[in-house]
Amino acid sequence: MPNNQHQVLNPPIRILMGPGPSNIHPRVQRAMLAPIVGHLDPYFIAIMEDTMELLRSTFQTKNNLTFPISGTGSAGMEASFCNFLEPGDVAVIGVNGLFGERMVDNAQRCGAKVIQVAAEWGQAIEPEALENALKAQRRVKLLALVHAETSTGVLQPLVEASRLAKRYEALFLVDTVTSLGGHEVAVDDWGIDICYSGTQKCLSCPPGLAPFTVNQASFDILQARTHKVKSWYLDLSLLSNYWSSSRLYHHTAPINMIYALHEALALIVEEGIEARIQRHLINGSALHAGLEAMGLTLHAQDGYRLSTLTSVRIPPGIDELRIRQRLLSEFAIEIGAGLGPLKGKIWRIGLMGHSSRAENVLFLLSSLENLLLEEGYRLEPGAGVIAAAKTLRVE
């Protein structure tokens, strides 16, 4: 007899304040329930066109090849490296966290010679270190940086790095998974050649798509490759034919996910990109002020801290896992743990997209304060909420 005992699908409602995913707007949720059509249906083709235009607005680019790759942000990362690196190419990659390390792994799998420019996890990478690496090589094919390092909460400056890439005739590749839609990402003005992101963070769409953009000069370099791209699925020369007017069949796109992304991007346009960035900045500043008023120490380098993802050090004697578990079970709040060398040393608190709300900041600080007091941590009751509320009023 078949076993009909199975888990009933009834997920709990959570306040998602970890490193991703973020909560989604009700309009995005409804978009996913819209009737499915064929992936070459005229209606869906119109949605594809509109989605590309909305992505161009969000990336602040005129790049024709701007579309969502069917896969998570990691697919965007892999597409970036496997299309533009060939065996023997030299890549200079900034590494100040887990996702810089993943970039290195991707580039090495493409057969590239990788020059790592390392900084401590929690510090930004200095332009001087990048230039030293670039000028030490006869020819660098690609310079890659993570704009918003999710593992540490560091916001990496890009403008000077872009100038260096142009000076040394290297392609400039940027990971904006945790910044697109929450921090300024000006692809054209900043001279970014190749850029990818993920849907589940500041765009507040479920995970499953990787927004991607590449300029024509870089695409021409791709077309001149001497070896085939090793990944058939992520070959941009094939994907571009599906997302162009020719609509050559490549794969069956996740129709309802693209509905969701379309609605999420429409919400960004309606809010206004500058207003959205300012909202994230205000809420991030309030969270920082509240945590410091509680006597906690922010981990990321001062002056280079993300508004969208805050790393805060665990006080001595506090069981970081128990605090996270109690936040989830008692307050339905999710925050993230540290990764790699920061495991057990920091919490990661996300304020991304629809989750970046003043009420979430205040609720998290109040809940965290209650739990820390019960764990024996000494602080002035209410200090965090008061400091955050003051910042919100001033801003």
Rounded average pLDDT over 47-66: 98
At 246 the pLDDT is: 83
Residue-wise pLDDT for 119-162, tens only, equals 999 999 999 999 999 999 999 999 999 999 999 999 999 999 99
pLDDT at 164 exceeding the cut of 60: yes
CA angle 333, 335, 341 (to 5 degrees): 165
Rounded average pLDDT over 349-366: 98
**Considering only CA atoms, which of 272, 256, 92 is closest in space to residue 168?**
92
Residue-wise pLDDT for 307-335, tens only, equals 999 999 999 999 999 999 999 999 999 99
The answer to whether 160 touches 140, Cβ cutoff 8 Å, is no
At 3 the pLDDT is: 66
For 273-314, strand residue ranges (E) read 309-313
Rounded average pLDDT over 88-115: 98
pLDDT at 4 exceeding the cut of 80: no
Distance CA 211, CA 173 (A): 14
The answer to whether 32 touches 227, Cβ cutoff 8 Å, is no
The answer to whether 91 touches 112, Cβ cutoff 8 Å, is yes
Superfamily of domain 273-394 in the CATH hierarchy: Aspartate Aminotransferase, domain 1 (3.90.1150.10)
Residue ranges per domain, the chain? 26-270, 273-394
What tokens were used for 363?
A: 């609720």
Q: Which residues partner with 174 through β-bridges?
A: 145, 195
What percentage of the chain reaches a pLDDT higher than 70? 99
**Considering only CA atoms, which of 262, 351, 315, 294 is closest in space to residue 57?**
262
Q: Is 364 exposed, middle or buried (0-12, 13-18, 19+ CB in 10 A)?
A: buried
The residue that leads in pLDDT, 195 or 6, is 195
Local structure of 93: helix, strand or coil? strand
CA angle 221, 224, 226 (to 5 degrees): 125
Rounded average pLDDT over 31-35: 97
What tokens were used for 309?
A: 């993802």
Which pLDDT band, with edges at 50, 70 and 90, does 395 fall under?
A: low
> HEC string of 76-87?
HHHHHHHHHCCC
Q: How far is CA 190 from CA 114, 144, 164, 185, in A?
A: 24, 14, 12, 8
Torsion of CA 17, 20, 26, 27, to 10 degrees: 140
The DSSP-derived string for 213-227 is EE-HHHHHHHHT-SS
Average pLDDT for the chain: 96
**Considering only CA atoms, which of 172, 110, 182 is closest in space to residue 142?**
172
Q: Which helix (H) or strand (E) holds 174?
A: strand 171-175
The third-level CATH classification (topology) of the domain covering 26-270 is Aspartate Aminotransferase; domain 2 (3.40.640)
| CA 176 to chain CA mean position, Å | 5
Q: Which residues contact 102 (CB under 8 A, 6 or more apart)?
A: 74, 77
Which pLDDT band, with edges at 50, 70 and 90, does 1 fall under?
A: low
pLDDT at 64 exceeding the cut of 90: yes
Strands laid side by side in the 346-350 sheet: 309-313, 346-350, 336-337
Residue-wise pLDDT for 231-289, tens only, equals 999 999 999 999 988 888 899 999 999 999 999 999 999 999 999 999 999 999 999 99
CATH topology match: 26-270 vs 273-394:
no
